Amino acid sequence: MKDAGLSVEMRPKMVGSRVKRTEDPRLLSGTGQYVDDLHPAEMVHVAIVRSDQPHALIRDIRADAALDVPGLIGVYDFTDLEGEVSPAIPSSRMRNYYATPIWPLARGKVRFVGEAVVAVVATSRYAAEDAAGLIEIDYDPLPFASDPADAACHDAPLLHEEAGTNVIISREFQHGDIDEILHTAPVVVKGRFRMTRKSASAMECRSYLAQWDKRSRAITFHTSSNIPGIVRDVLSSSLGLPGHRLRVIAPEVGGSFGGKGSLYAEEILVCALARKLERPVKYVSDRLEELSSCSQAFDEWMDAQLAVDEQGHFLGLKADVIGDIGAYSIYPWTGALEPVQVISFMPGPYRVEHYHGRVRGVLTPKPATGPYRGVGRPSSTFAMERLVDMAARKLGMDPAEIRRRNLIRDEEFPYRTAPGIIWDKSAFQECLAAACDGADYTAMRAWQEEARAQGRWVGIGFASYAELTGIGSRIAVAPGMPINTGTETSTIRIDSTGAITADFGIASHGQGLETTLAQVVADELGCAFEDVRVRQGDSEVAPQSTGTYASRSAVLAGGAATKSSRVLKAKVLRAAAMLLDVSEEDLEANGGVIRSRSSNAVLTFREVADAVYNRMGAIPHDKREDLVSTETYDPYLGTACSSTHLCMVEVDLQTFGVTIHRYFVAEDCGRIINPMIVDGQVHGAVAQGVGAALLEEIHYGTDGQLQTGSFVDYLLPLASNMPDIGIAHVEAELPNNLGGFRGMGEGGTIGAPAAIANAISDALSPLGVEIETLPATPDRLFRLVTAKTQEISSQEGNKK
């Protein structure tokens, strides 16, 4: 205990400070530990023989030649696991939905090129790959439809005969009389928009290591996943193991972007083999396997129409969407995840009274579509924002002005959209204004006019959007999935040395959550930031948690941290009050020191912990409390994060390559925990959005074969492609949740594709070219410009 009268320096608040990430020293020095860094004794490796057929019956598997490979442990197909595992079923209460079962290996039939058929286990990956190359599989090819429109036809070949159709998801939202509006509206614009398939392309490929403990008959499973809690629960069911005999750990994870946010058949496989062989089993995919078997994104065909009056006010919107969901419905999100969100979020941040959205999710012989940063909203924002610009051009109105007239105004919050999403108050209008001011929109237009006078193709594009983040139980239960995604639990404890450990069920894969959550704990508990250790990514530290996705961690984990910290702080202050013989109301805690306002006497957290745990009698027996708090937070609904992106691009007249000259983001993400981390999230997400807009595209031939199996063919943005990105943080009224936080990790991928598409369309507007498909590659732009030029020449020739 310090002497009375000793002054104590008050530390500044941590939330809102640009604190350097505490994760970075170990990651930058190479001392971080990823799954592939783990090498337990007697570990064996798995190589997988994958299908080279898009749709076929498995007639015969011949492995005799592989059995002589030195180091081979065994060759396994599904019959070797029969009765040892159950499938994962991505169930849902949605009407018109069929849940495809997920098995560790193909059962008698393959449904896409890249599907796992045979597992080869050996003492090294080299030996496993050598043996895999000697295995022969005889297939009986079956007919298929790779185009989703063809696959949706009633007479199309079925991938899952038991479903009776390839259309395993269908959903509609209808509000008002859209057909009448489209018939009578002064202005109607329409287009058939498409976001093509993408790969998440994380730096670290999927990596799994399962260890079987013979004594406890339990599995410890290390996985490069951002949903370890979900993986633990489904593996428990699939393997028939209770949760306390199945621990799932996500150590350092080298990015996910959604690609590691689902259960994979290989995770079931590795665990089943570890139990079968009673030794550690590791599988690490290579880049070809990532591009051919990891979940993919988008592939949405969107026929959309927007009705507008003469003053540019939106009257109604209609969208008919076909989602190519691949060969399986992904666990746990189902194949509805992407396509249903497209029509759910299509109206975006705008007032749209009359709306009809229809979607069908169609099975095709490709990898399943699953989570990808932004989920559905990059596609819906692309279609909606293109329609907005097309309407502005038809009316001769500035694209900023038409948005200003239709964005939801402050006095209209909370606003329920036609599909039923509720936007709480967010800076819809303010973000538009901040983007125009921050980028100097007037000067951009002047520079564009000068460039155009020189014959250059320069354009400016906007994208305004809103996303629902930090979704609580009310929204989470709506899809009827077998998991609870709407709550988060935090356990915070102070040990006898005064050290603080905060446990969460979330799982960071690059967001800096160890730092940001420690900032929240330090402020709410009143402890020193450096005394807080955050543990996450381990199914043992929380009774139930689903992980990190959907911009939820700051809101839900931050809320849980706030609740637990406040309860624990009350315990600390009660103990300190007894030790100092003052009232609890007389005490304040800051930076790990508790001070009496009246006497200025102080105690450190360590001294309080020592008194609670070691100095028996210092606190009356019946008043003693362990310094532990476990609290669960449920925000019930969610909160809107809104943004406007503004960019200027130039299309090269010779190469048709696109250069981004200016890029600005104005975003409302509520109370900012760490501005440096938030800016990094914006930069990274915009870079990913640039890739989706200009470069990245998974191609499949009409024969069902993957044509982009490496980074030679699947192109990613480089640092040298990226412009400087200006950012303005706009803080509207804080959301009604604990902490006032909004999620924002996905925003750049939502706004960037639409903004860039609008900018390219603006650049090519003198030719009448409109961008309806992304990515806008040089080849695609060349074809568009050539076709339009030929059309213009033909029309002029006919006039003559």
Tens of pLDDT, residues 141-180:
999 999 999 999 999 999 999 999 999 999 999 999 999 9
Reply yes or no on whether the pLDDT at 12 is more than 90.
no
Q: How close are the terminal C-alpha atoms of the chain, in Å?
A: 98
Q: What average pLDDT does this structure show over 182-196?
A: 98
Pairwise CA distance, residues 516 & 501, whole Å: 14
pLDDT at 5: 38
Mean pLDDT of all residues in the chain? 95
Q: pLDDT band for position 217 (50/70/90)? A: very high
Instruction: Spell 702-730 as b/e; 16+ CB within 10 A means b.
Output: eebebebbeeeebbebeeebebebebbbb
User: C-alpha 14: how far from its chain's center?
Assistant: 27
What is the CATH number assigned to the segment(s) 35-142+203-255+260-293?
3.90.1170.50
Q: pLDDT band for position 87 (50/70/90)? A: very high
User: Who's near 783: CB < 8 A, 6+ residues apart?
Assistant: none
Q: pLDDT band for position 800 (50/70/90)? A: low
pLDDT at 180: 97
Query: What are the sequence ranges of the domains in the chain?
Result: 24-32+487-633, 35-142+203-255+260-293, 296-473+636-794
Q: pLDDT band for position 9 (50/70/90)? A: low
Q: What average pLDDT does this structure show over 658-682?
A: 96
Pairwise CA distance, residues 504 & 521, whole Å: 12
Tens of pLDDT, residues 699-721:
999 999 999 999 999 999 999 88
Q: pLDDT band for position 751 (50/70/90)? A: very high
What is the pTM for the complete model shown? Answer: 0.96
User: Who's near 578: CB < 8 A, 6+ residues apart?
Assistant: 619, 620, 623
Number of H helices, E strands in the chain: 19, 31
User: Who's near 380: CB < 8 A, 6+ residues apart?
Assistant: 302, 341, 342, 343, 344, 345, 346, 348
What is the CATH number assigned to the segment(s) 296-473+636-794?
3.30.365.10
Its CATH architecture, for the domain 24-32+487-633, is 2-Layer Sandwich (3.30)
Reply yes or no on whether the pLDDT at 7 is more than 60.
no
The answer to whether domain 35-142+203-255+260-293 and domain 296-473+636-794 are alike in fold is no
